[in-house]
Amino acid sequence: MIEINPFVILFAAIFTNNILLSNYLGMCSFLAVSREVKASWGLGFAVIFVMTVTTAINWLVYFYILVPTGMEHFWYIIFIVVIAAFVQLVEIVIEKISPILYVNLGIFLPLITVNCAILGASLFMIIRGYDFLQSIAYGFGAGVGWALAIVAMAGIRQRISRSPVPAPLEGAGIALIIAGLMSLAFMGFSGMIQVQ
């Protein structure tokens, strides 16, 4: 991809191309956890951190190990292994150095390994041909965008829980409708820049 300022990519990843609201990634944990604002913050921060670091690692692994050895076809396996290993490592480190952080963040880490958004960010960065800095900006931006969406969603759902909702729509149904409305709102940003 030709010279796009990493800051533009960062902005695009947060607003115009929100990984959750325009690419539908990370829906499972999004629907499950977005009932409480506090838990949403925890998961949101965990996603920002893991996504930023794994996109960076995966970029290095792809261009310095897979491409020279001609093993690009195995990228899915390698990426998922990198993500799983990194999450495991973080879990061990956090448990050792900061028990408080571990209590707050630790329970979300296993959820992250199967979060589609993490793998999705790594795949998108390769498909769109970002360079190293752009990839880090993209990983960080996508994480922030995801966190923003889940926290906003949790806030709305706390209010909704006291409103009369048609019985079959309770839970997931109404959450999806809210997600649709949020997605509409975020589309309002899309005129600002034309970058993926």
Partner 1 sequence: MAKSKTKKIFWNAFWTDNPVFRQILGICSTLAVTNLMVNTIIMDIGLIFVLIMSNVTVSLLRNVTPRRIRMMVQVLIIATYVILFDLALKAYLPDISKALGAYVGLIITNCIIMGRAEAFASSNKPYPAFIDGLASGLGYSVILLAIAIPREILGFGTIMKDTFLQVTLMPESFTKWIIMVMAPGAFFTLAIVIWIIRGWTGRSGEDKG
The reply to whether 168 sits near partner 1 by the rule CB under 8 A is yes
Backbone phi, psi, residue 110, to 5°? -60, -35
Nearer to partner 1, 48 or 125 (CB): 125
Structure-token pair, residue 160: 């909704």
Nearest residue to 9 via CA among 160, 145, 123, 170: 145
The reply to whether 180 sits near partner 1 by the rule CB under 8 A is yes
Are the CB atoms for 93 and 101 separated by under 8 Å?
no
Surface-to-core class of residue 139, CB atoms within 10 Å of its CB (0-12 exposed, 13-18 middle, 19+ buried): buried
The reply to whether 29 sits near partner 1 by the rule CB under 8 A is yes
Site track 89-128 with partner 1 (rule: CB under 8 A), x = hit: -------------------------xxxxxxx--xx--x-
The reply to whether 173 sits near partner 1 by the rule CB under 8 A is yes
Structure-token pair, residue 193: 């820049």
Binding site for partner 1 (CB under 8 A): 21-29, 31-33, 73-77, 80-81, 84, 114-120, 123-124, 127, 166-174, 176-177, 179-181, 183-184, 187
